[in-house]
């Protein structure tokens, strides 16, 4: 088991497959100038699959979520997914993606056994999309979502980040679109994880504000809190249900006490929290002849040292050195 000293057990592994991305969302990456991880530091497909296997067969990992950067940019993605779904016990698998290229790869991912996708979509307006993501790719994203649903990668969940003065009035339209298409929408509060350190508490759009804006157009009823478990999203039934909308209030409504996540970066670092300032490097063991049990031991120690909370609301909070794109969101 991957247990920490506060009684939490990590069963959900987020695996970053690359730090590169084909969008430049303003809350995540600068327009240019971000240095990529050195090529030799990146884990090979075989190394990644070995680590995922250790997580699943020795450490109790039950869910594997592929992310990045943009995971669809990883050439070996379909093979990595297939090797993961061949593990026993078979983990639940998901992919967090911006959707660009998903229209082409969704059938192969479904064939490889991927269970479902999370697609990021912050607006339905092409001009706002271009301003926010610094690329004109909205149609590709929408096509990718439709292809994922058609391939059975369901439920398709949609992640949205609202930025004040940019897309903060898009919330009702995004929800209407997701309801119409059978997608499950979740709004994520903007977190201090951008490479350019531009996050400001006083301008972030809070969970309360998002609920107020949605409440003008929809009837929202909290779903039963008892069923939330370790899920980051607080769910609300929309217009009597069964459809729901989720709010991930990472900053104003932290859920660290129920966290069951652990992260593996594309260069082989275990991170016990998105906001951790320390990492455990598995590469020396991986590339130096370490046994599976030795790797598992280092991994256990990394999780055991997990702090009780992310500390964003503490005056002494310091943003981690790695940006979200290199951690894996």
Binding test (CB under 6 A) with ligand SAM, winner from 18, 84, 98, 123 = 98
Task: Tell me: does residue 26 bind ligand SAM (CB under 6 A).
Answer: no
Task: Tell me: does residue 105 bind ligand SAM (CB under 6 A).
Answer: no
Pairing relation of β-strands 244-248 and 184-188? parallel
Tokens of 322: 């790695």
Nearer to ligand SAM, 12 or 194 (CB): 194
Report d(CA 41, CA 39) in Å as an integer. Answer: 5
Binding test (CB under 6 A) with ligand SAM, winner from 48, 193, 210, 296 = 193
Binding test (CB under 6 A) with ligand SAM, winner from 13, 15, 28, 138 = 28
Is residue 273 marked as binding? yes
Nearest 5°: the CA angle 26, 209, 273 is 55
Task: Tell me: does residue 55 bind ligand SAM (CB under 6 A).
Answer: no
Report d(CA 316, CA 181) in Å as an integer. Answer: 43
Pairing relation of β-strands 280-281 and 269-271? antiparallel
Report d(CA 60, CA 233) in Å as an integer. Answer: 23
Q: Residues 124, 177: contact at Cβ < 8 Å?
A: yes
Is residue 178 marked as binding? no
Using CB positions, name the residue nearest to ligand SAM.
Answer: 329
Task: Tell me: does residue 207 bind ligand SAM (CB under 6 A).
Answer: no
Is residue 191 marked as binding? yes
Binding test (CB under 6 A) with ligand SAM, winner from 11, 84, 105, 120 = 120
Task: Tell me: does residue 210 bind ligand SAM (CB under 6 A).
Answer: no
Q: How far is the CB of 10 from ligand SAM (least distance, A)?
A: 19
Binding test (CB under 6 A) with ligand SAM, winner from 161, 171, 175, 296 = 161
Which of the residues 288 through 327 are near ligand SAM (CB under 6 A)? Answer: 324-325
Q: Beta-carbon neighbour count of residue 220 at 10 Å?
A: 18
Report d(CA 87, CA 93) in Å as an integer. Answer: 11
Nearer to ligand SAM, 4 or 190 (CB): 190
Question: Which candidate, 77, 2, 29, places its Cα nearest to that of 194?
Answer: 29
Report d(CA 221, CA 243) in Å as an integer. Answer: 11
Report d(CA 203, CA 190) in Å as an integer. Answer: 10
Binding residues with ligand SAM: total (CB under 6 A): 20
Report d(CA 109, CA 149) in Å as an integer. Answer: 12
Q: Which region among 45-53, 63-71, 176-184, 213-221 touches ligand SAM (by CB under 6 A)? A: 63-71
Binding test (CB under 6 A) with ligand SAM, winner from 18, 93, 159, 269 = 159
SS3 label, residue 124: coil
Q: List binding-site positions for GTP.
A: 14, 65, 96, 157, 261-263
Residues that bind ligand SAM (CB under 6 A): 21, 27-28, 67-68, 70, 96-98, 120, 159, 161, 188, 190-191, 193-194, 324-325, 329
């Amino acid at each position: 088991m991957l247990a920490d000293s506060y009684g939490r057990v990590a069963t959900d592994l987020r695996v970053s497959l690359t730090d590169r991305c084909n969008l430049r969302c303003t809350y995540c990456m600068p327009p240019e100038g971000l240095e990529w991880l050195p090529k030799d530091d990146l884990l090979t497909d075989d190394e990644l699959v070995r680590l995922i296997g250790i997580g699943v067969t020795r450490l109790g990992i039950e869910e594997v979520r592929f992310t990045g950067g943009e995971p669809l940019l990883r050439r070996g993605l379909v093979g990595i997914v297939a090797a993961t779904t061949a593990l026993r016990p078979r983990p639940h698998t998901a992919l967090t993606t911006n959707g660009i290229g998903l229209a082409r790869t969704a059938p192969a991912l479904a064939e490889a056994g991927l269970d479902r996708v999370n697609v990021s979509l912050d607006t339905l307006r092409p001009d706002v999309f271009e301003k926010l993501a610094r690329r004109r790719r909205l149609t590709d994203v929408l096509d990718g979502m439709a292809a994922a649903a058609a391939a059975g990668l369901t439920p398709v969940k949609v992640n949205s980040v609202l930025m004040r003065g940019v897309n903060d009035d898009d919330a009702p339209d995004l929800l209407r679109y997701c309801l119409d298409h059978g997608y499950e929408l979740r709004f994520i509060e903007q977190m201090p994880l951008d490479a350019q350190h531009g996050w400001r508490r006083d301008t972030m759009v809070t969970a309360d504000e998002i609920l107020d804006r949605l409440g003008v157009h929809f009837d929202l009823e909290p779903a039963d809190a008892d069923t939330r478990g370790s899920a980051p999203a607080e769910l609300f039934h929309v217009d009597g249900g069964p459809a729901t909308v989720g709010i991930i209030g990472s900053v104003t409504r932290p859920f660290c006490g129920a966290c069951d996540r652990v992260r593996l970066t594309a260069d082989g670092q275990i991170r016990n929290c998105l906001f951790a300032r320390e990492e455990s490097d598995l590469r020396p063991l991986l590339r130096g002849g370490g046994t599976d049990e030795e790797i598992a031991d280092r991994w256990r120690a990394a999780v055991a040292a997990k702090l009780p909370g992310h500390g964003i609301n503490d005056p002494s909070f310091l943003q981690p050195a790695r940006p979200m794109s290199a951690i894996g969101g």
